[in-house]
Structure 1
Amino acid sequence: MTRSIKLVLAAVALVLSAHAAPAQSEKSGVERLYILNCGEGATSDVSRWTPGMNEGKPMDFVDSCYLIKHSQGWFLWDTGVPDAVASMPNGLVPSDPKATVWRRPKTLVAQLDQLGLKPDDIKWMAVSHTHPDHTGNVELFPQAVLHVQKAEYEWPGPNNEPRFKPSHPVVLLSGDKDVFGDGSLTILSTPGHTPGHQSLLVKLPKTGAVVLSGDAVHFKSNWDNRVVPGMNVSKDQTLASMQKIADVLAKEKGQLWINHDKAQRDSLKMAPESYD
């Protein structure tokens, strides 16, 4: 075979390889999702979340975090009640007797370990908002890039303290954000519960589209009846955010997973099982 023929064959092979289908490992997108137990709570009076209804009625809550495996790495949504609560015999008892008493049956670190992961393996994270039952373990992941709405980041905390340590790597958002640019994981701006509240649209290859509510809505009954808790910063924004989520669900033919709704959470698979 002459040298010129070899060069032609090599060029043809190069062109064919450039147009070949990508390998499975090169596919972009979300691969699977784990639901983690990030707290269990109880209140003696749920009317705080359902104004005008359920006066003096007790209710159990749950608090979930969601670990998402994307082709580019691990992403964590919300961090739950602080892991330190796991060592408190009576749980985290609030000063307000009508507020939620939180317990932590499993630490976040232990659940990651069960999946063969360490906190350092988390490359990206986001919190729905800055209430402590969602940000309790943010500082376990100092290397992870945190996505948060600018309005939430700049919202003064108790005693006007910053809500995050200045050293934490942060991406400040002003609206929706396609995190990886492939449509598989989209942060949705859903203000109302807090000034910069956000929810998360996850597109799983088999399960399909799921919206993780954060606290845009607290319970299925609140969702069905468009009930806005009295502590929300804006009723109008909350209702608009609920409608936005409803529109996304209709467009994507998706499911709504409501973070604090115990009945729904108990019907879902928990880690180490996963959704793909």
Structure 2
Amino acid sequence: MIRTSALVAVLLSAVVSVAPGQAQSAKPGVEKLYILNCGEGVAGDISRWTPGVNEGKSMDFVDTCYLIKHAQGWFLWDTGIPDAVAAMPNGLPPADPKAVYWRRPKTLAAQLDQLGVKPSDVKAMAVSHTHPDHIGNVEMFPTAMLYVQKAEYEWPGANNAPRFKPEHPVTKLDGDRDVFGDGSITILSTPGHTPGHQSLLIKLPKTGALVLSGDAVHFKSNWDNRGVPVNNFSKEQTLASMQKIADTLTKENAQLWINHDKAQRDGLKMSPEFYD
């Protein structure tokens, strides 16, 4: 009997110790990530992003959105330039000639359709911040739960107008958020560019960990030199957020994908190809 009891105890111990690990490894999270073309443009004077450097120098910019297939549903990060710009023969000229002159070569709607994804299939979404080149198509997804920092949501827009339609479902965040509760998609609070700017940490099964920058940084030299754009909300917060991203990259052995960096994006696979 003693031997039998001991054997049972050992077996039970093995089940208890192994089961959680098995459940975790079998638990699906992010399955695929698609990179979508959400705008292309030319910055008239990039010194606004690199104070004291590159005066009068122009640079090609891109605007990128990411569609993520998670076991619990589709998740969209950023929505880019409004699709309506695609119908404008001359694109969308900026009020400030130093800013970015945007064009929309492909609509977001057409890229989703190519993947067989309807806007109503997107159950959750988040935007890095509320500048027009990131929220241009939010209302294409009127029922998707929107994750946004409370500080960004309540930041007054032009003429104190709200930044989103009040009826759009929203989850207001105050810091980081594990979206699906499994560690595969984590919103990182990275204020500075705007009061409630956020970035995204994604863990893919084969590709590994990625951090999507939003506008915490605009292009690689900007990142390498810790350049803070003159129009940012807070220089101090921007630098702290860059450090937070750097620490996350080290901790997670992650790649940094910089939203507006054309050279980097041109080396990545665009939808309908994907990362898994």
TM-score (normalizing by structure 1): 0.91
- Whether 1:253 aligns to 2:253 is yes
Inter-partner Cα distance in structure 1 for 2:116 and 2:29: 21
Partner of 1:6: none
Inter-partner Cα distance in structure 1 for 2:271 and 2:131: 24
AA at the equivalent of 2:149: Q
- Whether 1:170 aligns to 2:170 is yes
Residue 28 of structure 1 deviates from its aligned partner by 2.6
AA at the equivalent of 2:268: L
* Matched ranges for 1:153-232 at <5 A: 153-232=153-232
Inter-partner Cα distance in structure 2 for 1:149 and 1:44: 30
Partner secondary structure for residue 56 of structure 1: coil
Partner of 1:130: 130
Partner of 2:51: 51
Inter-partner Cα distance in structure 2 for 1:59 and 1:155: 29
Inter-partner Cα distance in structure 1 for 2:95 and 2:124: 34
Partner of 2:240: 240
Inter-partner Cα distance in structure 2 for 1:96 and 1:126: 27
AA at the equivalent of 1:159: N
What CA deviation, in whole Å up to 9, does each residue of 1:182-230 have, x standing for no partner? Answer: 0000000000000000000000000000000000000100100100000
Residue 115 of structure 1 deviates from its aligned partner by 0.3
AA at the equivalent of 1:74: W
Inter-partner Cα distance in structure 1 for 2:247 and 2:29: 23
2:149–2:174 CA contact under 8 A, matched in 1: yes
2:44–2:101 CA contact under 8 A, matched in 1: no
Inter-partner Cα distance in structure 2 for 1:149 and 1:171: 8
Inter-partner Cα distance in structure 1 for 2:44 and 2:251: 38
Inter-partner Cα distance in structure 2 for 1:217 and 1:43: 15
Inter-partner Cα distance in structure 2 for 1:63 and 1:230: 20
Partner secondary structure for residue 55 of structure 1: coil
Residue 268 of structure 1 deviates from its aligned partner by 0.4
Inter-partner Cα distance in structure 1 for 2:261 and 2:116: 28
2:67–2:74 CA contact under 8 A, matched in 1: yes
AA at the equivalent of 2:79: T
Residue 43 of structure 1 deviates from its aligned partner by 1.8
Question: Percent identity of the aligned residues?
Answer: 79
Runs of at least 5 residues in structure 1 that lack an aligned partner in the other structure: 1-18
Partner of 2:92: 92
Residue 94 of structure 1 deviates from its aligned partner by 1.4
* Matched ranges for 1:10-21 at <5 A: none
Residue 97 of structure 1 deviates from its aligned partner by 1.4
Residue 171 of structure 1 deviates from its aligned partner by 0.1
AA at the equivalent of 1:170: V
Residue 248 of structure 1 deviates from its aligned partner by 0.4
What CA deviation, in whole Å up to 9, does each residue of 1:15-61 have, x standing for no partner? Answer: xxxx7966x9x733111100000000102211111110101101110
Runs of at least 5 residues in structure 2 that lack an aligned partner in the other structure: 1-18
Residue 99 of structure 1 deviates from its aligned partner by 1.3
AA at the equivalent of 1:134: H
Task: State the number of aligned residues.
Answer: 258
Partner of 1:16: none
Partner of 1:8: none
Inter-partner Cα distance in structure 1 for 2:95 and 2:61: 18
Q: Which runs of 4+ in 1 moved over 6 A?
A: 19-22
AA at the equivalent of 1:188: L
AA at the equivalent of 2:229: P
